Amino acid sequence: MEQTKYLVVGSSHAALEAVTAIRMHDAEGSLTLVTRDTLLPYSPTVLPYVVSGRSAPGDVFLRDEQFFAANRVDYRRGAALEALHTGRNAAELADGSEIIYEKVLLATGAAPAIPPIPGLDQVKYHVLRTLDDATRLHAAISQSKHAVVLGAGLVGMHAAENLVKAGASVTIVEMAKQLTDGYFDPTAAQMIEKAFVDNGATILTGSRVVKLAPSAVGATLTLENGKTLEADLLLVATGVKPNMDFLGDSGVAHDRGILVGDSMQTSVANVWAAGDCAQAKSFFSDDKVMNSILPDATEQGRIAGMAMAGDPGLKHYPGGVPLNTYHFFGRHAISVGSSRLTEGAEVVTRFDEASGRYLKAIFKDDRLLGIYGVNEFFDGGVMCQLILRRVDLSAVKQRFLANPLAVGRELMSKLWR
């Protein structure tokens, strides 16, 4: 029976950070990384840029074989986890083989969540989660005349912009009342919407598809209000669901994702989880949430790796702070922190219509909870630290709001440079 001290399942950001963290503390312990991917590691976040043609599909890899060799990692591609037998510390792979682990990290990521719309299984549609998905979508975009994107999250919006730029007529259908719900506030979403409409896209927010059927060009979509849309290209980007089917009767507690504690440990001994498959606490509440963003995946992966290796330098996970950047039609939007308005929160907004610059900051007790900007550049990483450190901004608040870039840097230099 094959045995390994550390088993890492997955090969994207969380898994790679865990490998590095383990090797920082334990240079020798046997380390095996299995992934269902047959390609070298890459980031789901880069895929919209493969779709647009900005990134060549062969040039997006985060590590090469040399990295794994140098770190003495037994790196196995095309090896999907089938089942986890926690009772005997065994991971069963898709080919039926088993690996006995001392410690295992589940960094299996997520897959597109396909909404249960009648007829969706009868039509051809695209999703965007793997490099193959991206390559297929890239090829299809140039052929498309009438495209429909289901879901106005960042993945859907990125793809929609690419379709618009490729000359297709594009319709975005979103159930929520605004675009980029959960990422940006209504004002920022309005600016994003206007940019898309100005460039010829049709936005249907607060709208849902109730039925799909194959048609001559591709698919006919029927909306709630009875109207129909024809699509020669349909992208389903309505969110993701964690990959955790392998949990079976492992006893590992899970809800929307795999539930983890302050050092990414699961409810079962010797099992950790990190990244898009994990459900961990939020910085802003004790609730466990899906912190499905790249910076959090790296943070969680690092913490899990340190915990697995027994690194005494481990500091507990402070909780997820949402961090998002979004580039649309030559403009930048950044959001850092919570958008939820708790009791006693103070909201300050500034909008300059002429320049299109928008800033919104949320404070509580003169401490920053969240900050959002469109075309208003500030250092997101510095803002995140101001939130995490709960820095008292009462003395500098007005200056901070006038120039978050410079005053943020001044505070950084004074407090933690």
Partner 1 sequence: MGRGYNTIAFDAARCDGCGDCMTACAGAKTGTQDKTRSRIQIVGDASGGFELALCRQCGDPKCVTVCPAGALTKDGASGVIDWNAAKCVDCLLCTVGCAYAGIALDAGSGHVAKCDMCYESPAGSPACVPACPHGALTYITTSRIYNEVGDWEDLFAPGLAGCQGCNTELLMRHTLRRVGPDTVLATPPGCVPGMGSVGFNGTTGTKIPVFHPLLTNTAAMLAGIKRQYKRVGREVLALAIAGDGGASDVGFQSLSGAAERNEQILFMVVDNEGYMNTGMQRSSCTPYGAWTSTTPVGKGSGGMPSQGKTQDAKNLPLIMVNHRCEYVATASTAYMEDLYDKLDKAIEASKRGFAYLHVYSPCTTGWRFPTDQNMEVARKAVETNFVMLWDYTPGAGLRFTRPVDQPLPVTEYLKAMGRFRHLSPDQISHIQAKVVENLAFVKQMVHRASAPGGET
Rounded-to-integer distance, Cα 326 and Cα 183, Å? 9
Q: HEC profile for 72-107?
A: CEEEECCCCEEEEEHHHCEEEECCCCEEEEEEEEEC
Stretch near partner 1 under the rule CB under 8 A, chosen from 1-9, 59-67, 211-219, 271-279: 59-67
Nearer to partner 1, 109 or 218 (CB): 109
The verdict on 412 binding partner 1 (CB under 8 A) reads yes
The one among 124, 145, 256, 332 contacting partner 1 by CB under 8 A: 332
The verdict on 323 binding partner 1 (CB under 8 A) reads yes
Stretch near partner 1 under the rule CB under 8 A, chosen from 162-170, 171-179, 352-360, 402-410: 402-410
Task: Give the nearest distance from C-beta 119 to partner 1 in angstroms.
Answer: 34
The verdict on 58 binding partner 1 (CB under 8 A) reads no
Identify which of 184, 222, 180 has the alpha carbon closest to the alpha carbon of residue 205: 180
Task: Give the nearest distance from C-beta 407 to partner 1 in angstroms.
Answer: 8
The one among 29, 57, 119, 295 contacting partner 1 by CB under 8 A: 295
The verdict on 268 binding partner 1 (CB under 8 A) reads no
Stretch near partner 1 under the rule CB under 8 A, chosen from 99-107, 191-199, 205-213, 401-409: 401-409
Rounded-to-integer distance, Cα 272 and Cα 173, Å? 37
Rounded-to-integer distance, Cα 32 and Cα 336, Å? 35
CB 171 within 8 A of CB 201: yes
Name residue 60's amino acid.
V
The verdict on 336 binding partner 1 (CB under 8 A) reads yes
Kindly give the pairing relationship between strand 331-337 and strand 367-374: antiparallel
SS3 call for 362: strand
**Residue 200 token pair:** 């010829």
Kindly give the pairing relationship between strand 73-76 and strand 31-34: parallel
Stretch near partner 1 under the rule CB under 8 A, chosen from 57-65, 119-127, 238-246, 350-358: 57-65
411 membership: H or E segment, kind and range: helix 404-415
The one among 117, 260, 334, 387 contacting partner 1 by CB under 8 A: 334
DSSP 389: T
The verdict on 59 binding partner 1 (CB under 8 A) reads yes
The one among 71, 169, 207, 325 contacting partner 1 by CB under 8 A: 325
The verdict on 351 binding partner 1 (CB under 8 A) reads no
The one among 26, 30, 62, 215 contacting partner 1 by CB under 8 A: 62
**Residue 248 token pair:** 């079976």
The verdict on 69 binding partner 1 (CB under 8 A) reads no
Rounded-to-integer distance, Cα 405 and Cα 417, Å? 15
The verdict on 60 binding partner 1 (CB under 8 A) reads yes
Cα pseudo-dihedral 41, 314, 273, 334, rounded to 10: -60
Name residue 56's amino acid.
A
Binding site for partner 1 (CB under 8 A): 13, 16-17, 43-46, 49, 54-55, 59-62, 294-295, 298, 302, 323, 325, 327, 332, 334, 336, 377, 379-382, 384-385, 396, 399, 406-410, 412-414, 416-417
